[in-house]
Amino acid sequence: MTSKERVLTAVAHQEPDRVPIQIYLTPEIQKKLMAHFDHSNPMELYETFGVDFRSVGPSFKGTLPPVPEGCDIVDEWGVGYVMFDHGHGGAYPEAHHLALAEITTMEQFESHPWPQIEDYDFSALEAQCDAVRDYAIMAGNAGIPDIVNGVGRGRCMEQVLLDIMTEDPVGMAIIDKRCDFQYELCRRTLEAANGKIDILGLGEDTGNQNGPMFPPPVFDAFFRPRIQRFIDLAHEFGCKAMMHSCGDTSILQGRFVEMGLDILDAMQPEPPGMDPERIKREYGDKLTLCGLISTQQTLPFGTVEECRAEARHRLDVIAKGGGYIFAPAHCIQANNPVENVLAVFEEALGLEPGSFSNGK
């Protein structure tokens, strides 16, 4: 099977020739893995690990706002970030200048310099797809619509939560401005690709370690209609819809099925409601599950054999009958032992233990 055939077979809840593979890495662990294999670019690493997905997207051709004072970088929304060293061998951009927090009236909302769809170039999308035609081709990402995190980086997460719960007119206008912009970005991307994109990637962290981020009625009233637009858009263009959500989403998974979601990504096995076998029994014939290789416990802190055992369980139990994509539950962090990463991907590929030990 090609990678494309393998992924689409699994998403159709049939067993492919082997489990489809996805990977999520921080730049630091990616660099370590590339050094281990003596690879010069990330695509070589993807080939080694049998990753079946490739991403395409428009290019940004606009001019970013000036970098705010005290910041290292800025995004198209005017939000300034500092690169924060978290002490474990890597750095993350952390929001420092909250441009959207400065908007407190509808007059300020109307006059704000919002990004424009014309800042993006879609002309190369079909050629991008042709270049990776044998892979499962993805557009979008976990930041779409990503309301709580995405708007929170520019407005403060606490304020976004208050905006949602109180239905603050200014806060709601900002949220919908961002959602509308991302919807149009996705629509034009899918249109420009001329039917060659297989999966539209979406994201919204609807859970935390203890349960849903919001009571189900709040999800139904606020999040569901906004996310539904993107799922429907994917299906309109013949794509599968894949949504990233951290945390315990167990109470909401039935709703995801009702909404037509095809793939639930970044599934964490650690929260109490996220038992992989139970989820497979209840929703495995309706939702394709992506993730479930622990990035909080097993991969960073387990032994090589514990990592192999977890991988084998996902392969022998969760992948049975299709409907599973083998992947870490989130980005593998910088301090993760390289040998643990090698072990789980050896298992996924059906290789003998130690096959990757010498960088081969």
Which pLDDT belongs to residue 360?
Answer: 62
CA distance 136 to 55: 8
Check residue 87 and give its pLDDT.
Answer: 79
Task: Return the closest-CA partner of residue 333 out of 294, 306, 295.
Answer: 295
What is 3-64+100-349's CATH number?
A: 3.20.20.210
pLDDT at residue 92 in the model: 87
Distance of CA 245 to the CA centre of its chain: 8
Q: Positive or negative CA dihedral for 213, 217, 222, 226? A: positive
Region label for 208, one of left (φ > 0), alpha (ψ between -120 and 50) or beta (otherwise):
beta
Predicted pLDDT at 86: 78
Alpha helices in the chain (DSSP H): 3-11, 27-37, 42-48, 106-111, 125-131, 152-155, 157-166, 169-192, 216-218, 224-236, 253-259, 276-283, 298-301, 304-313, 338-349
Taking the alpha carbons of 78, 151, 263, 220 in that order, is the dihedral positive or negative?
A: negative
Report residue 235 as tokens: 């299906």
339 exposed, middle or buried (CB, 10 Å; 0-12, 13-18, 19+)? middle
Domain ranges of the chain: 3-64+100-349
For residue 90, what pLDDT is reported? 77
Count CB-CB contacts under 10 A for residue 360. 8
Residue 53 near residue 136 (C-beta atoms within 8 A): yes
Task: Decide: 68 and 97 in contact? Cβ < 8 Å.
Answer: yes
The whole-angstrom distance between residue 110's C-alpha and the CA centroid of its chain comes to 31
pTM: 0.96
For residue 224, what are the CA distances in angstroms to 168, 218, 258, 260?
Answer: 18, 9, 10, 11
Q: Cα–chain-centroid distance for residue 124?
A: 23
Q: How far apart are CA 347 and CA 126, in angstroms?
A: 34
Q: At what angle do helices 338-349 and 27-37 cross, to 10 degrees?
A: 70
Residue 275 sits at the vertex; the CA angle it makes with 138 and 137, to the nearest 5 degrees, is 5
Residue ranges of the chain with pLDDT lower than 50? none
Q: What is the DSSP letter of 352?
A: P
Element (H, E) at 137: strand 136-145
